[in-house]
Amino acid sequence: MAGVRQRLGLVRPVAPRPVTRDVPGEEIAPGLRYLEHTSAWPEPPAEFDLTFARLTTARREHLLHFDTETTGLAGGTGTRAFMIGAADWFNGHLRVRQLYMTSMAAESAMLTEFARWVRTDTVLVSYNGKSYDAPLLATRYRLARLANPLTGLMHVDLLHPMRRRYRQVWENCKMQTAERKLLRIVREDDLPGSEAPRAWLRYLRGGSATDLVRVAEHNLQDVRSLSGLLVEAHGWAARDAQENMLAGDEK
């Protein structure tokens, strides 16, 4: 029968995926959800050597790894962040907190809550965040007439050190390439970041929450990987110094 259907141009009907509007997390303001995860993680150094990023050092407790999911990749005043994820070291664990909007009206509440996570001694960690996430958030804070908590903070953008070190070695220096090569993390059933805008807008228009939940899972892995990549990069200076010393001994 399958061959007959194909010859006749008939397509077997596909059962529709179940539509669920359920979204995880606690609603902490109208249209704003909060998620928190803690993970057992290898003990990070108490102080990070940031010379790989042409900076100095940073205490572990000052680090805030962050990533946004947005309504577009081009930036500009029409693009907004609908999800913010941030990881820090808290009580001996890696803590990931996520905020995401289920209505347009929740943006000010999300920005206000995220600002509470940032202190004057916070050191930001991102992947291309200097060029994209931080400027986008600066625009949203300005449009919301709120003070931008990221202004003036030290910012470790891991993309640039990765490019300097591996540009001639890897096929590309995307974050998922770095986590696969350095952390041995291979994502399964990951929703690409480019699909995030559509997943969120579909939910706002009454569609299923299934892909929005996958966006949250993608964001969770992003900020977890940031912490692992920073630990990896922290060791570069010591390893390079040792290799140089050994090379000098051989001469």
| 247 part of a folded domain | no
* pLDDT (tens digit per residue) in 116-140: 999 999 999 999 999 999 999 999 9
Polymer length in residues for the chain = 251
| Predicted local distance difference test score (pLDDT) of residue 74 | 61
Beta strand ranges found along 120-248 (DSSP E): 123-126, 154-157
Number of compact structural domains in the chain: 1
Mean pLDDT of the chain: 88
Q: Which domain holds residue 85?
A: 21-239
| 9 part of a folded domain | no
Residue 66 near residue 94 (C-beta atoms within 8 A): no
| Predicted local distance difference test score (pLDDT) of residue 184 | 94
∠ CA 47-51-55, nearest 5°, is 90
| 246 part of a folded domain | no
| 207 part of a folded domain | yes
Residue 18 pLDDT class (50, 70, 90 cuts): low
| 54 part of a folded domain | yes
| 32 part of a folded domain | yes
Cα separation, 27 vs 99, in Å, equals 10
Give me the DSSP letters along 102-127: SSGGGHHHHHHHHHHT--TT-EEEES
| 231 part of a folded domain | yes
Six-digit token string for 98: 């996520």
CATH of the domain at 29: 3.30.420.10
| Predicted local distance difference test score (pLDDT) of residue 19 | 67
With a cut of 80, say whether residue 171 has pLDDT above it. yes
Residue 103 near residue 114 (C-beta atoms within 8 A): no
Residue 40 pLDDT class (50, 70, 90 cuts): confident
Give me the DSSP letters along 62-95: GEEEEEEEES-SS-STT--EEEEEEEEEETTEEE
- Report percent pLDDT > 90 for the chain: 73
| Predicted local distance difference test score (pLDDT) of residue 2 | 46
| 55 part of a folded domain | yes
* pLDDT (tens digit per residue) in 185-223: 998 878 888 889 999 999 999 999 999 999 999 999 999
Residues 6+ apart with CB under 8 A from 243: none
Higher pLDDT, 4 or 118: 118
DSSP helix/strand/coil, 35: strand
With a cut of 60, say whether residue 53 has pLDDT above it. yes
